[in-house]
C-alpha cells in the first residue's frame, strides 16, 4: 500500500483562525498565503502530488485554482483551535488508504503561514529525508538567540522560579554561552514518514532529522503580513514569480 520513494505534499488550511481572520487565504502581493505553499510544493521535483486539507469549500476552491488537489474535506472536529496536527494527518492518510489503495512513503508538510520560502531549502529538505532510512521525520528550525534556560516563571506566592526544573535563579543568570544552543521549530518545511504515523499515531517520532535554516517570518498577526509585504517588495521571490506567471491574483481568480 505504501509506495517507496513517493512523496506527496500536504498543506493544512483550516478556516477558523482567530488571531488573523481567514489567515490562510489572506493575500501577499495579491496571492493568498495558501497559494505560496502550493507553489513551493509544485516546484519541488520530488513531490508528485499536492493535497490541501481544509474544512472549507471556499478554501478548497481556491486551492484547486492554484494547482492543488482537494479530494476530501477535513471534518469539523479535526479543524478546531485545539486540534493537534496528528488528527488531520491521520484523516488524510485514512482517506487515501480507503479510497485510493495507495500511500506515499513521505508527506511534505507545508504550512501556509510561511510564504517566504526559498525553493532550494525546500528541495534540500526532501533530499535529506530520502537519504536517511532510519529517520522518523525531518523538521526545520532556526537558532534561538535567547536561551530558555534564562527565563523565569512566577510562583503562586509572587516570587520568580527558574523556567528550567532544578535550576536556581542564580544558575539561570550565567552567561548564555554556558547553555546549549536551542532551536525553534518554524513550520517552514517538515517531512513525515507515513509508516511511522500509521504505526505509532504520532507525527514526528524520536529520530527527527535536524534541519537548521535561517529564521523566517511566520504569520501569526496582521503585522506579520505587513512585514512580509515589505520584504517581498524589496526582495526577489521565486514563488511569487511562479504564481504571477501561471495564475491570476485572488481578486481576479474564477473562484
CATH superfamily entry for domain 2-142+182-252: Spore Coat Polysaccharide Biosynthesis Protein SpsA; Chain A (3.90.550.10)
Which conformational region is residue 214 in: left (phi greater than 0), alpha (psi within -120 to 50 degrees), or beta?
beta
Q: Residue 198: its pLDDT value, please? A: 97
> What long-range pairs does 122-126 form, CB within 8 A, spacing at least 24?
122/40, 122/43, 122/44, 122/188, 122/189, 123/44, 123/45, 123/46, 125/189, 125/191, 125/211, 126/7, 126/44, 126/46, 126/47, 126/191
Residue among 87, 103, 99, 23 nearest 56 (CA)? 23
**Residues 133-150, mean pLDDT to the nearest whole number:** 94
Structural contact between residues 219 and 115, judged by C-beta atoms closer than 8 angstroms: yes
Q: Residue 14: its pLDDT value, please? A: 94
Instruction: Find residue 192's DSSP bridge partners.
Output: 107, 137
pLDDT > 90? residue 157 = yes
Element (H, E) at 246: helix 238-246
Which residue matches cell numbers 488573523? Answer: 20
pLDDT > 80? residue 18 = no
Per this entry, what is the length of the chain?
Answer: 255
List of residues 6+ apart from 41 with CB closer than 8 A: 9, 11, 47, 50, 68, 108, 110
Q: Residue 29: its pLDDT value, please? A: 92
**Residues 203-218, mean pLDDT to the nearest whole number:** 93
Structural contact between residues 117 and 155, judged by C-beta atoms closer than 8 angstroms: no
Which residue matches cell numbers 516546484? Answer: 43
Provide the mean pLDDT of the chain.
94
Domain ranges of the chain: 2-142+182-252, 145-180
Q: Residue 72: its pLDDT value, please? A: 97
pLDDT band at 220 (very low <50, low <70, confident <90, very high): confident
Q: Which three cell numbers stand for residue 93?
A: 492518510
pLDDT one-digit tens code per residue, 27-80: 999 999 999 999 999 999 999 999 999 999 999 999 999 999 999 999 999 998
Q: Which three cell numbers stand for residue 107?
A: 508527506
Residue among 142, 147, 146 nearest 217 (CA)? 142
For residues 216 and 72, the model is more confident at 72
pLDDT band at 83 (very low <50, low <70, confident <90, very high): very high
% the chain with pLDDT above 70: 100
pLDDT > 90? residue 93 = yes
The Cα 60–Cα 57 span in angstroms is 5
pLDDT one-digit tens code per residue, 171-181: 999 998 899 99
Element (H, E) at 59: helix 57-65
Amino acid at each position: 500500500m505504501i509506495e517507496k520513494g513517493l512523496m506527496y505534499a500536504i498543506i493544512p488550511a483550516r478556516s477558523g483562525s482567530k488571531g488573523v481572520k481567514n489567515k490562510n487565504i489572506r493575500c501577499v502581493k495579491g496571492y493568498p498565503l495558501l497559494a505560496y505553499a502550493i507553489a513551493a510544493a509544485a516546484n519541488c521535483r520530488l513531490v508528485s502530488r499536492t493535497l490541501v486539507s481544509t474544512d472549507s469549500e471556499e478554501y478548497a476552491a481556491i486551492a484547486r485554482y492554484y494547482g492543488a488537489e482537494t479530494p476530501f474535506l477535513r471534518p469539523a472536529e479535526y479543524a478546531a483551535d485545539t486540534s493537534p496536527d496528528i488528527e488531520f494527518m491521520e484523516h488524510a492518510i485514512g482517506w487515501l488508504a480507503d479510497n485510493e489503495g495507495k500511500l506515499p512513503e513521505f508527506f511534505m508538510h507545508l504550512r501556509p503561514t510561511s510564504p517566504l520560502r526559498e525553493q532550494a531549502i525546500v528541495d534540500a529538505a526532501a533530499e535529506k529525508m530520502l537519504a536517511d532510512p532510519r529517520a522518523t521525520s525531518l523538521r526545520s528550525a532556526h537558532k534561538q538567540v535567547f536561551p530558555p534556560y534564562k527565563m523565569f516563571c512566577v510562583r503562586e506566592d509572587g516570587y520568580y522560579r527558574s523556567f528550567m526544573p532544578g535550576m536556581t535563579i542564580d544558575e539561570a543568570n550565567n552567561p548564555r554561552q554556558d547553555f546549549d544552543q536551542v532551536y525553534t521549530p518554524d513550520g517552514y518545511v517538515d517531512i513525515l514518514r507515513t509508516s511511522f504515523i500509521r504505526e505509532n499515531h504520532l507525527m514526528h517520532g524520536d529520530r527527527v532529522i535536524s534541519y537548521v535554516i535561517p529564521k523566517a517570518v511566520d504569520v501569526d498577526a496582521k503585522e506579520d503580513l505587513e512585514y512580509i509585504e515589505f520584504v517581498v517588495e524589496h526582495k526577489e521571490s521565486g514563488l511569487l514569480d511562479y504564481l504571477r506567471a501561471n495564475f491570476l491574483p485572488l481578486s481576479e481568480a474564477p473562484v
